[in-house]
Amino acid sequence: MAKQAPGIVVRHHRACPSRDGGACAKPCTPTYQAWVWSKRDGKKVKKSFPTPAAAKVWRADALSALNRGTLRASVPTTLREAWDAWLTAAEDGVIRNRAGETYKPSVLRSYAASMRLYVLDDLGARKLSDISADDLQALADRLVAKGLNPSTVRNTFMPLRALYRRSRRQVPVNPTAGLELPAVTGRRDRIASREEAASFLGCLPEEQQALWATALYAGLRLGELQALRDEDVDLAGGVIRVRQSWDKVVGPVPPKSRSGSRNVPIPSALRGYLAAHRLRRPTAGGLFFGNGSGAFNDDTARARAAKAAKDAHIAAIGFHECRHTYASFMIAAGANAKALSTYMGHSSITITLDRYGHLMPGNETAAAALLDAYLAAPEATAVSPAHH
């Protein structure tokens, strides 16, 4: 090897005569290796090019990137090694999500499955720092070509985003940023009418009615229904206190987010179902809808409800559809977005508006009617602007 220019080394084929002091000749086609020194990493960052001009351009860009902190020397850790370490730390509660909360066990199981099924066999042996945005885009394109559901493709990159977010000191430029992923265009979940909800509850056996009524008239998530304790149902105070959720593997877990811990008002339409269910329970304490310390089986509950609905020649309502139906009832009843967000346990009112804004009043006709009503109101009842 001989120096071509500062920071650039010309590399010849092993059989090249130049290695013995002669002139470069076939079969040698020299390449030009440019390098810069990363003081932060204590090692060289190197890359080879077919021409000295290309090597010079890369070296100038690399020096600027080092100064900006967007270039690091290659890290020997592989993607598989980094993922295993990340998953262990997340399971131990050391690594947390963006909200600063521990990851739910079900989320980590989903992440691990996505990495195992779609990522690690393909990229696991590659160095974490060597995987580029082009590599990940190519992976996404292959998954789409295989016919995977768009939501599956998008979910595959969620653990990768979490991993690279945590590894930003080793990999300053996140390769998961700016990926072109397929859009999820699924239809909205069905929302039942008041009449459909009443008919559905009426067709169920008495011992099942309280569970589904709580889903419809309090909007609890499935895991929250499974984890609901006897003491959480405060009929005297008129609230259901949501304090935990249920994981099918580990049992009781904290709610989905900090906002998931909340008090949900008990409407009159629900109170009777809850009171009757409490009277039917053999002993007080334990899980309200389960057997002592064991949660009810959601698949069994769905199957029984579906059979009852079929026998009554009506459409069954799923647990998630019950939650959406509750939101629509609250909006129709006049609940504001902030109250609805609280009762639904959303971490942000933005989530509530994104999911249910289309149900809220506020189209052009409604807005004009509200303004007309204000302008036509007697001056004594109209709200006047403050005088300064």
pLDDT digit string (tens) for 261-276?
999 999 999 999 999 9
Q: What is the pLDDT of residue 75?
A: 65
Question: If pLDDT is split at 50, 70 and 90, which confidence band does 49 have?
Answer: confident
Q: Residue 374 falls within a domain, yes or no?
A: no
Q: Which helix (DSSP H) or strand (DSSP E) does residue 240 occupy?
A: strand 239-242
Q: How many domains does the chain fold into?
A: 3
Interatomic CA distance for residues 145 and 141, integer angstroms: 6
Question: If pLDDT is split at 50, 70 and 90, which confidence band does 243 have?
Answer: very high
Distances (CA, A) of 154 to 68, 104, 183, 346: 31, 19, 8, 22
Interatomic CA distance for residues 149 and 143, integer angstroms: 9
Question: If pLDDT is split at 50, 70 and 90, which confidence band does 366 have?
Answer: low
Average pLDDT over every residue of 235-259: 91
> Does residue 124 share a domain with residue 42?
no
Percent of the chain residues topping a pLDDT of 90 = 55
> Does residue 17 share a domain with residue 108?
no
Q: Residue 224 falls within a domain, yes or no?
A: yes
Which of 2, 6, 24, 7 shows the shortest CA–CA distance to 15?
Answer: 24
Q: Residue 337 falls within a domain, yes or no?
A: yes
Q: What is the pLDDT of residue 382?
A: 47
Q: What is the pLDDT of residue 86?
A: 96
Task: Quote the domain boundaries for residue 95.
Answer: 79-166
Q: Residue 26 falls within a domain, yes or no?
A: yes
Q: Residue 30 falls within a domain, yes or no?
A: yes
Q: Residue 178 falls within a domain, yes or no?
A: no
> Does residue 88 share a domain with residue 64?
no
Q: Residue 185 falls within a domain, yes or no?
A: no
Q: Residue 102 falls within a domain, yes or no?
A: yes
Among the listed ranges 2-11, 56-65, 85-94, 327-336, which one has the minimum average pLDDT value?
A: 2-11
Length of the chain: 388
Q: Is the pLDDT of residue 211 over 80?
A: yes
Question: If pLDDT is split at 50, 70 and 90, which confidence band does 387 have?
Answer: very low
Q: Which residues contact 217 (CB under 8 A, 6 or more apart)?
A: 267, 269, 270, 326, 329
> Does residue 329 share a domain with residue 226?
yes
- Indicate yes or no: pTM above 0.95: no
